[in-house]
Chains A and B, each alone.
Chain A
Amino acid sequence: MEFSDRLKKLNSKKNKYSWSETRDAWLFTGIGVVLFLVFVLYPQVKNFYMAFTEYNILPGQPSRFIGLENFRTMFISDGALGESKYFWVAFKNSLWAVIITVPGQLILGVMLATLIHNLTRGRLLYKILLYIPVISSWIVVSVLFKYIFQDTKGALVNYALIQANLIDTPIAWLQNATTANIVIWALCIWKGVGWVMIIYTAALQSVPKSMYEVAKIEGANAIQTFFKITIPLLKETTIYSIVQLTIGAFGIMIQVIMITGGGPMGKTETLNSYMYSQAFSQFKFGYASAVSIVMGIVVIGITLIQRRAFKEGQ
């Protein structure tokens, strides 16, 4: 101990880190670092290895290395047992979910934020009410949506549409791929709009009032002000929201498992729910890892493109 202390002192001339500070730092951060390494970083790395094997979950049993076989199955296998057609359906559904739910949440959320921002009375109450879907459990609201979109006349949505004379006969929402996907998207948008609204009401408050006063003196109308002042000033908020919403849209899984079960015929499966069912219903762990890696690349790729596109637009 003494020797090592002296050694540390000797080194400390070259080394700007003091021994006691390093020791304390590891006492503070060590547990966190170890847990992170074991349960977060190592699994992410192991995922890559698993993707190239026919992974065997039994402890001590070897996993067979099969090269790119999992990726081949995913992308180009065909025939009666061809898995790739299910993968591509899930892939397309995930992309559609991004294309529809990200702008849907963003536009409605910004609209609500603008309405609330211009309100003189009742701001707090509306914010509280509109945020309730955001804080509610996914599992609870998924159960709820499964029931309000039932195919009978008395189910809430069909009932409302019939009362409004928009349809004559009830729609079998969950029996048809397109309408079942619409239900899943509707849930995402309904639950996410409040989040966007809160982010933007905070951001709008930070825009200096003087900018608007100048615009007013110069004779700009409300729409011009919105597009020329508000939107450019909130660029950072918009990038942040779009990236978060995109990651969220790729995360769609509980809704699928709870509302449609992937059906009809696997046509509402998303990449995430597909990966989950391949691992934990089909026990194809290696294949599921391969799917998760493809998904990770797609998500990171899309969010990087979004960030880049916004930076260049400035």
Chain B
Amino acid sequence: MKKKKIAMQLGLQVLLIGASILAIMPFLYMLATALTKDTYTMPNPPILIPKEFYTGNFVSAWTSNSFSRYFLNSLFVSLVTMVLTLAISTASAYGFAKLRFRGRNVIFNVYLFSMMIPAVLALVSQYTVLNGLNLIDTYRGLILLYISGGIAGNTYFLKGFIEQLPNDYEESVMIDGGSRFTVFSRIILPLCRPSIATLAILSFMGTWDEFFAALTIIKTASKRTLPIAIRLFQGQNATQWGLVFAAALIALIPILIIYITFQKYFIKETDDGGVKG
């Protein structure tokens, strides 16, 4: 019986090691190729373990191809979007969860309904709206689009959490002469910290990777974010493998750092605070 169990565990380990290799191998290939000199022709056989540690591709992408600039652009857009998203979503969620006002249910149901419709379908008309407001080719336009697109989902996500908080705290603050803004900043926000952290991570990563709105709205080369820069760079340097891979890895590194640092938010080791999607 015990032998059978050990054999089963061994089998599971083998299968999972195989699956993990399939998941990771393309990235190793990318890293090893980016660390190899002169990859104008396709390396044959493919390189999976770097034989040398040539950083020239990274240096070239970062300096002579302006990827440092695009990196900072992406960082700026993602951070501003994240901060504004958190401010607006937490305030909205508190309003919908705890305050009673006319139209609350109607508006919230419209939020819910809008979540059923794939957001990308509105990109064409969103472009015409931004065009009408002279917001094409501006970060303001891009960031407004990112924030607005997340409002319904984020409000829904946080509202569920805030609703569960007892009303007693609130009442005691109000009796002591505090306003609802005191309640919000002193009680609600601190209690929501785990959900806010989840939202911050999701917002940052979503914006960092966003491709189509950025591609459509940003026209000036110096304003590009990383995903668009990679696309155009790949088009111009199609045969310079190492260089393209180095550029792509530059975009991937912050995401990996966030992922490894906050992995418990992603992989649901516990039942609460997990990230869906």
Contact = CB atoms under 8 A, between A and B. Distances in A.
A31 B248 CA distance: 36
B88 interface: yes
Interface in B34-52: 42-46
A280 interface: yes
B104 A35 contact: no
Contacts of B61: none
B88 A35 contact: yes
A159 B128 contact: no
Interface string B115-137: 01111111111111101100000
Nearest to A56: B128
A260 interface: no
Contact of B145 (A39, A143, A280): A39
Interface string B187-223: 0000000000000000001001101100010000000
Contacts of A55: 128
Contacts of B110: 41
B267 A198 contact: yes
Contact of B88 (A31, A120, A201, A295): A31
A44 B114 contact: yes
Among A21, A132, A251, A279, residue most surrounded by chain B Cβ atoms (within 10 Å): A132
Interface string A268-290: 00001001100110000100110
B44 to A, nearest CB: 3
Given A35-B148, A137-B227, A140-B251, A43 B126 contact: yes
Contacts of B12: 115, 118-119
Give chain A's interface secondary structure class.
Answer: helix
A24 B117 contact: no
B271 interface: yes
Interface in B85-99: 88-89, 91-92, 94-96, 99
Contact of A206 (B147, B249, B271): B271
A205 B124 contact: no
Given A139-B230, A156-B46, A198-B266, A132 B24 contact: yes
Contacts, number: 261
A246 to B, nearest CB: 10
A24 B126 CA distance: 30
Among B99, B124, B148, B151, residue most surrounded by chain A Cβ atoms (within 10 Å): B124
Contacts of A126: 16, 19-20
A155 B252 contact: no
B209 A138 contact: yes
A130 B131 contact: no
Given A32-B91, A156-B29, A289-B124, A116 B16 contact: yes
Contacts of A244: 277
Contact of B125 (A50, A148, A250): A50
Interface size class of A (residues with CB under 8 A): 35 or more
B269 interface: yes
Interface string B135-162: 0000000001101110110010000000
Interface string B155-172: 100000000000000000
B20 A296 contact: no
Contact of B148 (A22, A38, A199): A38
B53 to A, nearest CB: 21
Nearest to B44: A154
A288 B44 contact: no
Contact of A40 (B42, B114, B127): B114
Contacts of A80: none
A214 interface: no
B46 A155 contact: yes
B4 interface: no
B125 A43 contact: yes
28 contacts: A17-B101, A28-B94, A28-B99, A29-B95, A31-B92, A33-B107, A36-B114, A40-B114, A40-B119, A40-B151, A43-B125, A118-B12, A124-B267, A126-B20, A130-B19, A132-B23, A132-B24, A135-B256, A137-B227, A139-B227, A139-B251, A144-B27, A144-B30, A154-B46, A155-B42, A199-B276, A289-B124, A292-B122
Interface of A: 16-17, 21-22, 24-26, 28-29, 31-33, 35-36, 38-44, 46-47, 50, 55, 57, 59, 112, 115-116, 118-122, 124, 126-133, 135-141, 143-148, 150, 152-156, 159, 190, 194-195, 198-199, 201-202, 205-206, 244, 247, 250-251, 253-254, 257-258, 272, 275-276, 279-280, 285, 288-289, 292-293, 295-296, 299-300, 303
Given A39-B144, A133-B23, 11 more contacts: A16-B100, A39-B149, A43-B122, A47-B124, A112-B16, A119-B16, A124-B269, A136-B255, A139-B230, A143-B248, A145-B26
The 9 nearest A-B residue pairs measured at CB: A154-B44, A28-B95, A39-B148, A29-B95, A25-B99, A32-B92, A25-B101, A43-B125, A137-B209
